[in-house]
């Protein structure tokens, strides 16, 4: 009798969906429903919770009982969304890892569309377009409405300052993703760090809307509500620290570290001239 298991594995690799939750009771159920409705079915959902005090745990228990592809655990030491995402990623066993927010909605063919791209062995990470919605899941626009040319390969310099493709719209080859974590000490977020550390490895843009990205008052990170002037000033300071730290991070190649050292020096010199 012919054993087809090897061919099936090659054609339908195990996919991991890494989710970081925190006080997600309002939208989490709808997001998990959208994951379970995917046309591509060989996946696991790995959830790390950062100490939610609402009904998040009840929802996670209900869904994990309903479908054993959903597995969740409590972060032993709540430490913010970056470390929480890193923990979820570290527990993933799939060949391809998707990053997933707790409050979005994925369209049913998102996994299938991404997995198809990975048949090209040169592709290391993939991203798709998103529709912007509000707390009632009503469409309020598209990302390119306010960010022209957003969907393009970001340069290393752009990623230095935190400009990146939304993490929830991305997937990665697990072997490459595991190598470059944890994120740098002053990284603005896990997604900007990942894309920076992988640069210039080949990515692929799926020019289709494959999910709703929900914008609401409770966003832990991301687009969220309009930033205040004070928050913008703090972000500048944080990014300076991030840039200063990059040349010392051994997860980056020597060439990248040297490049960021030069960028930091140039930035400091430019700042001095501006203050004259």
- What the block records as the tokens of 110 is 């998102």
pLDDT digits (tens, 9 = 90+) for 155-170: 877 777 777 899 999 9
* Beta-strand runs (E) in 22-169: 43-49, 70-74, 96-100, 105-106, 125-133, 139-142
Spatial distance between the Cα atoms of 254 and 9, rounded to a whole number of angstroms: 37
Task: Answer whether 229's CB lies under 8 Å from 149's CB.
Answer: no
Spatial distance between the Cα atoms of 45 and 70, rounded to a whole number of angstroms: 5
pLDDT of 74 over the 90 cut: yes
pLDDT digits (tens, 9 = 90+) for 169-223: 999 999 999 999 998 888 888 998 999 889 889 999 999 999 999 996 655 444 4
pLDDT at 268 (0 to 100):
84
Task: Answer whether 126's CB lies under 8 Å from 118's CB.
Answer: yes
pLDDT of 61 over the 90 cut: yes
pLDDT at 186 (0 to 100):
80
pLDDT at 146 (0 to 100):
67
Q: In CATH, which of 3.40.50.300, 3.90.180.10, 3.90.550.10, 3.30.420.40 is domain 5-223?
A: 3.90.550.10
Task: Answer whether 63's CB lies under 8 Å from 70's CB.
Answer: yes
Spatial distance between the Cα atoms of 213 and 147, rounded to a whole number of angstroms: 15
Domain boundaries, the chain: 5-223, 226-276
């Amino acid at each position: 009798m012919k054993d087809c298991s090897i061919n099936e594995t090659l054609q339908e690799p195990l996919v991991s969906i890494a989710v970081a939750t925190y006080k997600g009771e309002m939208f989490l159920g709808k997001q998990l429903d959208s994951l379970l409705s995917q046309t591509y079915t060989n996946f696991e959902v790995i959830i790390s919770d950062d100490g939610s005090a609402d009904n998040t745990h009840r929802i996670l228990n209900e869904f994990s009982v309903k479908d054993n592809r959903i597995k969740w655990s409590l972060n032993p030491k709540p430490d913010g969304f970056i470390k929480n995402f890193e923990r979820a990623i570290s527990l993933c066993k799939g060949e391809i890892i998707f990053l997933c927010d707790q409050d979005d909605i994925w369209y049913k063919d998102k996994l299938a569309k991404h997995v198809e791209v990975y048949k090209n062995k040169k592709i290391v990470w993939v991203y798709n377009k998103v529709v912007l919605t509000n707390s009632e899941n009503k469409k309020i626009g598209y990302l390119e409405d306010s960010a022209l040319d957003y969907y393009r390969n970001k340069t290393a310099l752009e990623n230095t300052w935190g400009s990146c493709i939304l993490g929830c719209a991305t997937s990665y080859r697990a072997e490459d993703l595991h190598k470059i974590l944890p994120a740098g000490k002053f990284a603005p977020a896990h997604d900007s760090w990942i894309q920076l550390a992988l640069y210039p490895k080949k990515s692929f843009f799926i020019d289709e809307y494959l999910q709703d990205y929900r914008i609401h008052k409770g966003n832990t990170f991301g687009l969220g509500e309009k930033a205040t002037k004070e928050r913008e000033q703090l972000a500048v300071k944080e990014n300076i620290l991030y840039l200063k730290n990059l040349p010392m991070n051994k997860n980056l190649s020597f060439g990248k570290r040297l490049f960021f050292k030069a960028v930091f020096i140039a930035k400091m010199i430019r700042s001095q001239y501006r203050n004259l």
